[in-house]
């Protein structure tokens, strides 16, 4: 990019009109141009985003004045220790991990056939309709969807009513309700990347596999799966991290159920104990980071 800019600057002298001066100046000074272009987004990223994140993590190593509830900037590792050793945070942390993993697996199981049908089987018109169907739920507010599930899963809700003729009842509020709701909420984030990678997969590869005698199972294992793995990885990062951090939908479909997100919210937003909340947030972010490192170790992220 820089070499082309320099060469054109050498070939043709810039116009000298008053209105052209700033653009001519920027044309010659490629570094200034780059700085002007990037300073605003970089400021946003570094100062607003990364610095506030750093400040939150720093709070995990500070103390809180027991009289005034204000932060005292003195170094301590007690909060992180507490977050790891207190069974209240450990069991809830493990429970949250189980939920995030279940949601991810469920999303994958549901997304694979749908994405495959949309990308490889459906006719162009049907494909367009399907993609719209994937996207439409994303246009509705998160809260509206969570409340809808509250109505569906609640005691005497729609699900109970529908199952009643068969002598069954819905799961009610609780862990299963949380998994169902989160799976619904994050499913499009799994379908879309898988669909995108299937779309790039040439049909000829599938035909070649068939010509070589590969049955559908073998074709999926040896041809399709390795190619869509980056898409699955991307989707799973969405579903896993979004589930790990959610607490509002949880609040709605399982009022008496606690996940790590609730604990972070209660400790920070509800006041009480900001350093401990920060320590819990730090652990959540570390979990996601470890997950991303594991995923990138498989090489799946290089394709993105």
Task: Pick the closer one to another protein by CB: 55 or 121.
Answer: 55
Task: Pick the closer one to another protein by CB: 183 or 277.
Answer: 277
**Cβ 97 to another protein shortest distance, Å:** 14
Closest by Cα among 156, 141, 299 to 232: 299
What the block records as the tokens of 30 is 């490629």
**Cβ 183 to another protein shortest distance, Å:** 24
**Cβ 292 to another protein shortest distance, Å:** 6
Residues 6+ apart with CB under 8 A from 17: none
**Cβ 53 to another protein shortest distance, Å:** 6
Task: Pick the closer one to another protein by CB: 14 or 299.
Answer: 299
Angle between helices 2-11 and 30-43 (to 10 degrees): 140
Residues 6+ apart with CB under 8 A from 244: 96, 97, 100, 260, 261, 284, 287, 288
Residue with tokens 């294992």: 221
| Rounded distance between C-alpha atoms, residue 63 and residue 177, angstroms | 37
3-state secondary structure of 71: strand
Task: Pick the closer one to another protein by CB: 136 or 269.
Answer: 269
* Residues that bind another protein in the complex, under the rule CB under 8 A: 50-51, 53-55, 57-62, 64-75, 82, 86-89, 91-92, 155, 255-256, 258, 262-263, 266-267, 269-273, 276, 289, 292-293, 296-297, 301-302, 304
DSSP assignment letter at 67:
T
| Rounded distance between C-alpha atoms, residue 272 and residue 262, angstroms | 13
Residue with tokens 């949250």: 96
> How many beta carbons lie within 10 A of that of residue 267, not counting itself?
21
Task: Pick the closer one to another protein by CB: 169 or 258.
Answer: 258
**Cβ 283 to another protein shortest distance, Å:** 13
Task: Pick the closer one to another protein by CB: 47 or 133.
Answer: 47
**169 close to 160: Cβ distance less than 8 angstroms:** yes
**199 close to 281: Cβ distance less than 8 angstroms:** no
**Cβ 120 to another protein shortest distance, Å:** 28
**Cβ 252 to another protein shortest distance, Å:** 10
Length of the chain counted residue by residue: 304
Task: Pick the closer one to another protein by CB: 90 or 218.
Answer: 90
């Amino acid at each position: 990019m820089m070499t082309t800019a320099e060469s054109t600057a050498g070939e043709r002298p810039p116009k000298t009109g008053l209105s052209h001066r700033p653009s001519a100046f920027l044309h010659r000074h490629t570094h200034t141009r780059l700085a002007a272009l990037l300073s605003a987004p970089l400021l946003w990223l570094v100062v607003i985003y990364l610095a506030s994140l750093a400040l939150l993590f720093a709070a995990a190593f500070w103390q809180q004045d027991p009289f005034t509830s204000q932060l005292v900037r003195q170094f301590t590792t007690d909060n992180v220790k507490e977050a790891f050793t207190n069974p209240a945070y450990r069991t809830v942390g493990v429970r949250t991990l189980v939920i995030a993993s279940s949601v991810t697996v469920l999303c994958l199981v549901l997304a694979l056939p749908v994405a495959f049908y949309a990308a490889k089987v459906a006719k162009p018109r049907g494909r367009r309709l399907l993609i719209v169907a994937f996207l439409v739920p994303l246009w509705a507010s998160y809260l509206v969807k969570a409340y809808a599930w509250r109505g569906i899963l609640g005691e005497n809700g729609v699900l109970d009513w529908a199952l009643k003729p068969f002598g069954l009842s819905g799961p009610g509020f609780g862990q299963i309700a949380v998994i169902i709701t989160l799976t619904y909420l994050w499913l499009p984030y799994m379908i879309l990347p898988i669909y995108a990678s299937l779309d790039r997969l040439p049909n000829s590869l599938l035909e070649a596999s068939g010509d070589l005698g590969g049955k559908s199972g073998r074709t999926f294992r040896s041809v399709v799966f390795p190619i869509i793995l980056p898409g699955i990885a991307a989707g799973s990062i969405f579903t896993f991290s979004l589930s790990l951090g959610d607490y509002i939908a949880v609040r709605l479909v399982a009022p008496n159920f606690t996940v790590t997100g609730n604990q972070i919210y209660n400790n920070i937003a509800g006041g009480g104990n900001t350093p401990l909340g920060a320590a819990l947030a730090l652990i959540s972010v570390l979990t996601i980071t470890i997950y991303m490192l594991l995923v990138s170790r498989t090489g799946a992220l290089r394709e993105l």
